Amino acid sequence: MSVDIAADPPDLDQTPDEAITGTVSAAEAVLRRRYGAKIQLAEPEDLGGSTHSTVVRVRVAATPFSLPRTLVVKRYNQPTPSEAFVREAVSYQLFTALTAEERMCPELYAHDGNAGVIVIEDLGRAPTLADKLLGDDARAAERALLSWARSLGRLHATTAGREADFDALMRRLSAARVKGDPLAVNGPAAIERLPQLIEDVLGVTTPAHVFERAERTRWLLATSRHRGFSPSDLCPDNNLITSRGVRFLDFEGGCVRNIMLDAAYLRVPFPSCWCAFALPAGMTDAMFAAWRAEVRAVWPDLADDSVVLPRMLDAQLFWVWASTFWFLPRPGEPDAPIDSHLPSPRRSVSLAARWQHLSEEAARAGADNIVEHSRAVVDALKRKFGPDLTLPMYPAFR
């Protein structure tokens, strides 16, 4: 789950129990329309959901068809097809059309835009990547991270060349109202406005040539040859570690885009997430190598450092600038944790680590202008929020 930058408002007229009961009833109606017969669901279990959706696990109590023993139902509070619903339903449709070996997410059983309901396969009670990172087993957390990185590479490789299929499904479900990468809206706006923000908050002036370099990262949002499906929200709690490998969840931002934006999640890491602690030395390099081993079979040029590393630096620069605009405390705001209810580092601590890492990667690439500016931001964060902004490691590695 990423931090909700612009979530739909919750339905305040329903209690949690009413939301769950309504979700089950709506799912039964959708399944009846899908299969042409009554299917009874029972024993709903609240799986958390969000401010704009209810998610439950249900038992299939009665059905004339061969269905799994349990299913997962997600119901959006606003029943008309929202952009998030369209992206999620289309994403599951895309993967459900693939073979079981290629499918790296739950299978879709039914969906209805007017009801705002999606019914998918229940993958059981497998731990998430977040569970592993917040646990106490370093080896298990390391294996989970490497498995996740490899799976992300396979996800990209498997969906290479399927953009036309994805777009056709989007047009069918949304009448072309929803298109492109959702990051294309708030990402460039964040980059455009960050220099003024860090000058106001930190007293750091952004040189024109540095701003121009950041502005050029917008190419990542344009058409390129390195394109594959992206869940968009790759945060650790949206990835199940199952006996069949990693399975990706939560496709509310699902789209086809430049895979470098996802790969940079390995290097920042997790720039839009609450669960954004530090990793052991060498871990991000190992994750990147695991991802790269999968994608270079489809894009052989990504085996060439001169091709992939400059693109990775651009993607890292994009995420650091965008996440700084989203999370830097404004005047009068406390330097609070990224999420007030979940284990999260303070915003200043997380941002200082990202800018420091950016300066190191830029130094390796010989991008001296980025190095100087990044170090200036780190120094200003320390002056503003305290000299010790060391980002703690994930609990599994402490």
72-83 pLDDT per residue, tens = 999 998 767 788
Q: Please give the distance of CA 121 from its chain centroid, rounded to a whole number.
A: 20
Range 184-200 average pLDDT: 94
- Rg of the Cα trace of the chain? 21
Read off the amino acid at residue 164: A
Under a CB-based contact definition with an 8 Å cutoff, are residues 168 and 306 in contact?
no
> How high is the pLDDT of residue 2?
65
Per residue in 32-45, pLDDT (tens digit) is 999 999 999 999 99
- Taking the domains of the chain in order of start, what are their residue ranges? 16-121, 129-397
Q: CATH 1.10.10: does it fit domain 129-397?
A: no
Range 4-22 average pLDDT: 63
CA distance 29 to 38: 8
Give yes or no for residue 350 having a pLDDT over 70.
yes
- What is the CATH number assigned to the segment(s) 16-121? 3.30.200.20
Give the chain's count of helices (H) and strands (E): 12, 9
The dihedrals phi and psi of 339, each to the nearest 5 degrees, come to: -125, 135
Give yes or no for residue 52 having a pLDDT over 90.
no
Range 305-330 average pLDDT: 96
This prediction has a pTM of 0.92
> How high is the pLDDT of residue 10?
39
The dihedrals phi and psi of 44, each to the nearest 5 degrees, come to: -65, 140
Give yes or no for residue 95 having a pLDDT over 90.
yes
Residue with tokens 């059905």: 63
